[in-house]
Amino acid sequence: MNIENKKFYIKTWGCQMNEYDSLTISSTIKKHTSYIETKNFIEAEILILNTCSIREKAQEKLFHQLGRWKKLKKKNKNIIIAVGGCVANQEGSKILKRAKFVDIIFGTQTLHRLPEMIVEKIKNKKFIIDISFPKLEKFKKIVPPKFNSYSASISIMEGCNKYCSFCIVPYTRGKEISRPFYDIINNILYLAKHGIKEIQLLGQNVNSYKSTGNNNTKHTFSELLKKISSIPMIERIRFITSNPMDFTDDIIKIYAETPKLVSFLHLPIQSGSNRILKLMKRPYSVEEYKTIINKLKTVRPNIQISSDFIVGFPGETENDFSETMKIISEINFDMSFSFIYSPRPGTPAAKLKDNVNISEKKNRLQTLQKKIKEQISYWNKKIIHSQQKILVEKSLPNTKNQFLGTTENNRKVIFNSQNDVLGKIITVKIIKKKNNFFEGIQQIM
């Protein structure tokens, strides 16, 4: 592709999958064009918006941003504006009704085609839209993003077959598609050879991963974890996001057998009320969720759990909310993503009668988040004077022999060292918490 040496800018909203997609978009454009990326949108000839539609008013947020970019396009008609991600899949060509100046609309499964769309737009000056779901093509064509750290994320599956009543993901990301087993392994081997020590596996329901290889060989998520753990250069493994209904005993067994798998898990429960879980079409009970956690704690006594909560779901009573607060205390969650319920267009829950007023929803959310903050404080205090395994990510600027690293439970730690520790996992004794960081002393083993 023969494109002049100009600049592109990407603005990202949403989850870690969206962040990963934006890195992939960047790598793909850089490989197939001569465009270079800029962090200053004023300099860019290509403006790319990678969107999320999980929360309410995602469309309005989109149009507000496009309104700001419209002013730039009025000054320079050659600017190309591209909208991608979940809102693009959800709204499609309807975006043009309010933003006729948009040039390209691409989907979550067609982001790898963006360089071709840009070339076609420049050549033919016509609006382009591609929000199709071409199955595994994306995984075969994407250019793996480059990472400037010692930790990297990799998408292993995408989409969702669960159709929870509140969730728009199955409609915007499509049905579950798992990336071929050895494609993932080869990608991780490449990353490992380039210094990556920690891998985070990404997917909407990452533990539902299933791949069929040669001779109809079936590969499960637990097999994938085990295979990754056998790569010597990879020293730490994470994954997000899991669904309790797919958190099977073979995965729990990996926690018993694989020290490289961190003792921290994000496992969304959404509500502590079985009645609300049924309305949400979450096919597990609170008791089943607790059984999973208890099994994990049997093989990993020190494992810490974070979760997702939706407050004020249609029909949620004070008693239902009390059940949620009860499970929060029982599990002693460390961190959470918690939100007031927002109806998403086209989902079954959007048709339910919402009998909880907004004032009550806000009070419940405030109560829940206050409790989570208290539990975060508990876990923060618990690691003081403990010894933690730290992945050393960078040396701090304008300091002498001072480094920053991350614990298995996602705490940032600052410490001094006279040694070459960058990219290594070392033991640090935590001394105290200071602002958003912990301070520690390296332990020489």
For residue range 213-236, list pLDDT tens digits in order.
777 888 999 999 999 999 999 999
Confidence of residue 1 (pLDDT cuts 50, 70, 90): very low
Q: 137-383 sits in which CATH class? A: alpha beta
Query: Residue 2 pLDDT > 70, yes or no?
Result: no
Which residues does 97 contact at the CB level (< 8 Å), separation at least 6? none
Q: Report pLDDT for 393.
A: 94
Domain boundaries along the sequence of the chain = 7-130, 137-383, 386-442
Phi, psi angle pair for 19, to nearest 5°? -60, -45
pLDDT tens-digit readout, 134-176: 777 777 777 667 677 899 999 999 889 999 999 988 888 888 9
Mean pLDDT score of the chain:
92
CA dist list (Å): 327 to 36, 243, 276, 360, 371? 49, 17, 14, 20, 11
Helix axes 286-299, 249-257, angle to 10 degrees: 20
Flag whether pLDDT at 253 surpasses 90: yes
pLDDT on residue 232? 96
Residue 391 · residue 198 · CB < 8 Å: yes
DSSP-derived letter for residue 393 is: E
**Those residues with Cβ within 8 angstroms of residue 48's Cβ, 6 or more apart along the chain or in another chain:** 8, 9, 10, 11, 25, 82, 83, 84, 114
Residue 427 vs residues 233, 297, 444: alpha-carbon distances, Å: 18, 23, 8
Q: What is the CATH number of domain 7-130?
A: 3.40.50.12160
The binding site for [4Fe-4S] cluster consists of: 15, 52, 86, 160, 164, 167
DSSP three-state, residue 131: coil
| Residues 419-443: tens digit of each pLDDT | 889 999 999 999 999 989 999 999 8
Nearest to 50 by CA among 72, 78, 23, 32: 23
Q: For residue range 267-308, what is the model confidence (pLDDT) as tens digits?
A: 999 999 999 999 999 999 999 999 999 999 999 999 999 999
CATH tag, 386-442: 2.40.50.140
What distance in Å separates the CA atoms of residue 244 and residue 417, rounded to the nearest whole number?
41
Q: In this structure, what token pair is assigned to residue 99?
A: 């933003």
| 413 has pLDDT over 70 | yes
Q: Residue 114 pLDDT > 80, yes or no?
A: yes
> Which band of pLDDT confidence, cut at 50, 70 and 90, is reported for residue 4?
low
Residue 72, pLDDT > 90, answer yes
Residues 6+ apart with CB under 8 A from 142: 24, 27, 28, 111, 112
Look at 127-141, 166-180, 234-248, 324-338 and tell me which has the smallest mean pLDDT: 127-141
Numbered residues of the known binding site: 15, 52, 86, 160, 164, 167
Q: What is the pLDDT of residues 189-199, one digit of tens each?
A: 999 999 999 99
Asked if domains 7-130 and 137-383 share a fold, the reply is no
Whether the pLDDT of residue 412 is over 60: the answer is yes
Q: What is the pLDDT of residues 341-385, one digit of tens each?
A: 988 888 999 999 988 899 999 999 999 999 999 999 999 999 999
C-alpha triplet 201, 207, 213: angle, nearest 5°: 85
